[in-house]
Every structure is written in structure tokens, then in C-alpha cells.
A = this chain, B = another copy of it.
Amino acid sequence: MSKIKYELIKNDNKNENVRLGKLITNHGTFDTPMFMPVGTLANVKTLMPEELKACGSAVVLSNTYHLWLRPGEDVIKKAGGLNKFMNYDGPTLTDSGGFQVFSLAKPKDITEEGVRFKSHIDGKELFLTPEKSIEIQNKLDSDIAMSFDECAPYPATRRYIENSMRRTIRWARRGKEAFNNPNQSLFGIVQGGEFEDLRRESALETVKMDFDGYSVGGTSVGEPKEVMYNMISYATKYLPKDKPRYLMGVGEPIDLLEGVSRGIDMFDCVLPTRLARHGNCFTRHGRINIKNAKYKEDFSPIEDDCDCYTCKNFSKAYVRHLVTAGEVNGGRLLSIHNIRFLIKEMEEIREAIKEDRFFEYKDEFIKKYENRR
């Protein structure tokens, strides 16, 4: 048991930002770029570990904030850690709780010490600090833990972002000092909003602390796509080439391509499972909603050439029936399809980088995806 190791396999010869690599963890090795499904409460909604593996999923993310509240980190520690608790033998990553505090738990009071906020379950007052977030994650015993950060809103003033980013750096330092799990790795998070110089400052200061990997945070909070893509570029520019880079909370098929083209190795997002619960699914020709009446008697799969369990076994008409009738299996079948879609996209991206044709692949993918049938 040891910390993770990142190995760079190669860069695309057209742009050295684009990287093919591998991440070696205590629970297996996976190639990057990689998309990670989200198992908020120590399970990916409606799916079992075997189904995730069948989708090609190599790593699962769980949410520290949610597990802190239920069932509590001590229960998971007593179970032998997150892997044993959820009976999943692959690599795991836990976030810091920072994003949930930002998105779920309002109103909040951010001080130097930490964040005071109310539980989204029962309104109970809670206080999360960098040390507490790390302590919880150390107990969860995921392969990769994240530093506690403030995920600042968009838009926000430069002054707000600057203060927030600098506090996040101080929090990262405190978390790193509190960190106490020799088998777990810790990532730092680059903040700084839309401001190039603040992203630079954040990246340089965070890298100085020598984390096991680096994340780009503060994206997917309402900013336009171009702003997000710039945020990524501003940050990855200053990140070391021998450490993995992780873009948090991004899962749109095109955003994955834009992330990879800016040097990102890992992505996570609730999008594939959240969309599924509302009847939405990815196709190579853009998103569709299976509830559309035109699928009522469409006995073909969601995608003819998709190799997922759903497409190999069930028709649009059947999935539509389950979703419109409110049957959980509808969302389950769409979750499988959507997760497989993103994982397959990543497989194709890796293949393309290997063959130095990532940008051709990207252009082709986007052209098709935006040209809905």
C-alpha cells in the first residue's frame, strides 16, 4: 500500500498539452484521460459495482460531505474503509466537501477557520474545516483525497475571488499538515476564478506544496463555456507534467474533449446519472430525451452501435415505457448507457492520442454531436 503514481505514456504530437498516461493506485491501475462516475453516498445511483465495471468504469468518486452526514465516517472506517464498505475493489476518490458546502448547504458563513452552514438534510448547524475534511477523508481511506477549498461563485468580483483563492491556499496548507494516511494520496486544488493571474498565483502556490496531483476547481458554476475553457488553460499551464490533473464536476461530452485538449487527465460528474433520472441520454448525435412520443414504438436501441448493456438488450420503446411509468429501472438503464457513453468516449480519446490524431477525433466528434438528427 502506497501513494498513487502517475506515468506519462505520451503526448499528442500536435499539441503537447494532450497526454496519455496511467495512474497506479492501491486498487488497480487505469489509463488516463479517464472519466469517473460519481457515487455520492458510497454507491453510484441505481448501479452495482459489477455494472460499473461492465461500463469500463475504472474509478469511482464519493462525496465526503454526504458520507460525513450519513452514515458517518466512523462507520465506514469500522467497515474497513470505503472500498470494503461498498464492496468495490477498484480505485476511489473522495472530494473535500467544499463543493457541497457551496451548492447544497446555504446559507453559509465562511471564515478563516472554516465554513459554518446548515445540513441539507435536517438543517442542523455544521462546521467544516480543512482539518476536519482531511480527517474524514483519511478515515474513508479513498485512494485519492482532495484538499478543502472554497468553490467560489460565478460571477464574483476580482476582490472576492482573490481573497477566496488565497484562503483556499492557506486551507490547502492546513489540510496537508493535518493529513495522516500513508496509503492515501492528496490533491491540491487550483482556484482563481476567471482571472488568469489569480489562476497562475493559485497554481504556483499550490504546486509549491508538492501534492500528489492537482485539480482545477471553481468550474461548472454557471460560467460560459469559453470562460471555463480559459480557466482550465490558465491553471494547467503551471501544473507539473509528472502529476495527474483533475477537472472537477465536468462531464459534458464536448467539455471532456476541451478538457483533454488543455491537459486534463481525470474528470468526474453526476451528469450521466442525473440526466438518466430525467429520461435524458447521450447519443453521438447529441442528447435526446427518451420520453419523447416519437420513441413510443421505436424498437431499436438508443444507439445501434453502442456496446452498453442497455443498448444490447433493450429498445427505446421499453426504456421509454419504464421512464414514463416512473419505474426506477428506466433511470438505471439510462445511467448505464450514459456512463458507458462517456467512458467509451474516453477510450476513443486515448486511442486517438496514441495515434496522434486527437484533434481530428475531437473535431469529428463535435461536428457529429452538434449536428443532431
Within the complex, which residue of B47, B299, B329 is in contact with A45, where a contact is CB–CB below 8 Å? B329
B48 close to A329 (CB less than 8 A): yes
Query: Which of A71, A75, A329 counts the most chain B CB atoms within 10 A?
Result: A329
- A175 vs B314: C-alpha distance when bound (angstroms): 32
B318 close to A42 (CB less than 8 A): yes
Q: Tell me the chain A residues, 176-193 only, with Cβ under 8 Å from chain B.
A: none
- A89 vs B321: C-alpha distance when bound (angstroms): 19
Q: Does A283 contact B (CB under 8 A)?
A: no
A325 close to B41 (CB less than 8 A): yes
With contact pairs A41-B327, A70-B321, A71-B296 given, residues A315 and B46 touching in the complex (Cβ less than 8 Å): no
Q: Does A289 contact B (CB under 8 A)?
A: no
B45 close to A328 (CB less than 8 A): yes
Q: Does A104 contact B (CB under 8 A)?
A: no
Please name the residue on chain B nearest to A324 by beta carbon. Answer: B70
Within the complex, which residue of B46, B87, B320, B322 is in contact with A43, where a contact is CB–CB below 8 Å? B322
A79 close to B299 (CB less than 8 A): yes
Please name the residue on chain B nearest to A326 by beta carbon. Answer: B41
With contact pairs A78-B297, A299-B79, A327-B41 given, residues A86 and B318 touching in the complex (Cβ less than 8 Å): yes
- A10 vs B325: C-alpha distance when bound (angstroms): 43
Chain B residues contacting A42 (CB-CB under 8 Å) are: 318, 321
Q: Tell me the chain A residues, 45-94 only, with Cβ under 8 Å from chain B.
A: 45-48, 66, 70-71, 75, 78-79, 85-87
Q: Does A151 contact B (CB under 8 A)?
A: no
- 26 A–B pairs (Cβ distance < 8 Å), ordered by A: A41-B321, A41-B322, A41-B327, A42-B318, A43-B329, A46-B328, A46-B332, A47-B329, A48-B332, A71-B320, A71-B321, A71-B324, A71-B325, A75-B296, A75-B297, A75-B317, A75-B321, A78-B299, A79-B299, A79-B318, A85-B315, A85-B317, A85-B321, A87-B313, A328-B328, A328-B332
